[in-house]
Amino acid sequence: MIELGRTFFTTVWQTKAGRISLLLLGICILVALLGPSIAPFEPRARNYDVSNKLLRLSPPSRNHWLGTTLQGQDILSQILWGARSALTVGVATALGVVLIGVNVGLVAGYYGGWIDALLMRITDVFLGLPFLPFIIVVLSITGRSTTTIILAMTVVMWRATARIVRAQVLSLKEMQFVAAARVTGASDLTIIYREIAPNIVPLALVNIAFSLAWAIITEASIGFLGYGDPNVISWGSIMYSAFSSQAMYRAPWWVVPPGIAIMVLVSSVYLVGRGYERIVNPRLDTQ
């Protein structure tokens, strides 16, 4: 796993855009890890001025760099805390999506026949599910929690990965190294996971990056719609609070920072994935 991560890092680092996106992503990860420790205030604590007056919608100042909310809460502290939520949900969802999608694609592509038909029809069913409405319905029924959000997103996001991996396996299983493995008496599982699976690792890594970006956007959308975990501060929930307080126009410092944070994180993740994809598949540069 360490060697795989090192290979991914060095591959993306080959291009200028890759280096910039990796640095941005590294900063975001560092903020997510250290955010609660370096936040100047408790994210839900109310702040008062020297006359003990609540700092409602206070604009950016020396003490509160990004201003305060209608409840007098420090926005910078909420942004720092929200970074961890965004990355936690994104990484967990991306790993779940790739785990399910890759295995479904491997089995369907290798065996073919009725197994392939069955798995692809199941995939089609999930492809027919409306993405965001499905997640909202699940959260409405089961309750709003981070775990439920991750599971709901994973359930509907693995479908594209499965189809992409299946298409790759259909060509790989006709290669000579697979035929040679069959001749030596290797079992189907050995061929699938020791011969074919290593050849789709680059594809899986690209899908992890893109799934991570989509998961972060979706988590922010869920929070903005008011269906996020009420016990967790997220960038989407910060924007929802501004919207529900009717302060989006009166206090742009409440809305713009979380929007920029989402844009920077998603863009860096997407560019890292795109950079890796262009290195492992040079034909993309000719399109």
Percent of the chain residues past pLDDT 90, beyond the cut: 73
Instruction: Give which of 164, 258, 149 is closest to 208, Cα–Cα.
Output: 164
pLDDT over 70 at 256, yes or no: yes
Q: In this structure, is residue 94 part of a structural domain? A: yes
Q: How far apart, in whole angstroms, are the C-alpha atoms of residue 79 and residue 263?
A: 13
Name the burial class of residue 264, with classes exposed (0-12), middle (13-18) and buried (19+) by CB atoms within 10 angstroms of its CB: middle
Q: In this structure, is residue 46 part of a structural domain? A: no
pLDDT over 80 at 1, yes or no: no
Over residues 190-202, mean pLDDT: 91
Q: Residue 257: which residues within 8 A CB-CB, separation 6 or more? A: 66, 75, 76, 79
Q: In this structure, is residue 2 part of a structural domain? A: no
Q: How far apart, in whole angstroms, are the C-alpha atoms of residue 146 and residue 89?
A: 7
pLDDT over 90 at 11, yes or no: no
Over residues 43-67, mean pLDDT: 93
Q: In this structure, is residue 218 part of a structural domain? A: yes
Q: In this structure, is residue 12 part of a structural domain? A: no
Residue 286 is predicted with a pLDDT of: 44
pLDDT over 90 at 248, yes or no: no
pLDDT tens digits for range 22-42: 999 999 999 999 999 999 999
Q: In this structure, is residue 52 part of a structural domain? A: no
Mean pLDDT, the chain, rounded, equals 90
- Residue 4 confidence class, pLDDT cut points 50, 70, 90: low
Q: In this structure, is residue 6 part of a structural domain? A: no
For the whole prediction, is pTM greater than 0.85? yes
Domain count, the chain: 1
Distances from the Cα of 278 to the Cα of 20, 99, 160, 186, 284, angstroms: 15, 23, 20, 34, 6
- Residue 167 confidence class, pLDDT cut points 50, 70, 90: very high
User: Concatenated DSSP letters for 31-81?
Assistant: HHHHHHHH-SS-TT---B-TTS-B-TTPPS-SSSTT-B-TT--BHHHHHHH
pLDDT over 70 at 3, yes or no: no
Q: In this structure, is residue 223 part of a structural domain? A: yes
Q: How far apart, in whole angstroms, are the C-alpha atoms of residue 282 and residue 153?
A: 31
> Which residue type does 205 have?
L
Can you give the residue range of the structural domain that contains 210?
Answer: 17-39+74-286
pLDDT tens digits for range 198-230: 989 888 888 889 999 999 999 999 999 999 999
At which residue do the structure tokens 């990056």 appear? 209
- Residue 287 confidence class, pLDDT cut points 50, 70, 90: very low
CATH number of the domain encompassing residue 166: 1.10.3720.10
